[in-house]
Structure 1
């Protein structure tokens, strides 16, 4: 009987711990998603500074399938080692035919360009 009452006494503590850690776990999931988007943009030739600005906005606005389509479309052509500008990425993703991807990249690119 004592063990049972002790167990019940610790449950609220566990619940509090879970409730406190849950938002951190969710944020960690978002951060890793954003970091994957940022890495894909850099691999596509976008500057690290621009990729850091675009990644959180794109990760928030696009589904995983759309992000995969974006990554595939944004790839640099073979032999192209120059840094990509927002207009270059928009031109590449226009081929996806997905208006949500084109809209997200265009709006995020304008935001980041104006932000400086």
Structure 2
């Protein structure tokens, strides 16, 4: 087992606490396969409409693995969201996807 110096540990804690929920959602959306532009737009619309528990459930999509965003369709992404079986997450995400797709 490797022992990490206390200063390195504290620095990592401080950096992790700097990430806002919006940044985390945006990163998670990109990890799930959305383009950076679409992820930024959607995160802005979603972060205030979902609870922290729901946002953490969304984060689980990023664990599936990074996907090439040029191959992911919005429909394919919403299929992944539907698998979470939370109607509110699906409604908020699909509305954000629709508005952001029309804005582009």
TM-score, scaled to structure 2: 0.72
CA RMSD in angstroms comes to: 2.2
* Higher radius of gyration, 1 or 2: 1
2:52 to 64, 69, 72: 64
State the number of aligned residues.
Answer: 85
Per-residue deviation, 1:76: 6.9
Question: Which residue of 1 is the match for residue 90 of structure 2?
Answer: 102
Q: Larger relative CO (CA 8 A, sep 6+): 1 or 2?
A: 2
| Displacement over 6 Å in runs of 4+ | none
1:75 partnered with 2:62: yes
Whole-Å separation in 2 of the counterparts to 1:58 and 1:69:
13
Q: Structure 1: where are the runs of 5+ without partners?
A: 1-30
Whole-Å separation in 2 of the counterparts to 1:114 and 1:92:
21
Higher helix residue share:
1
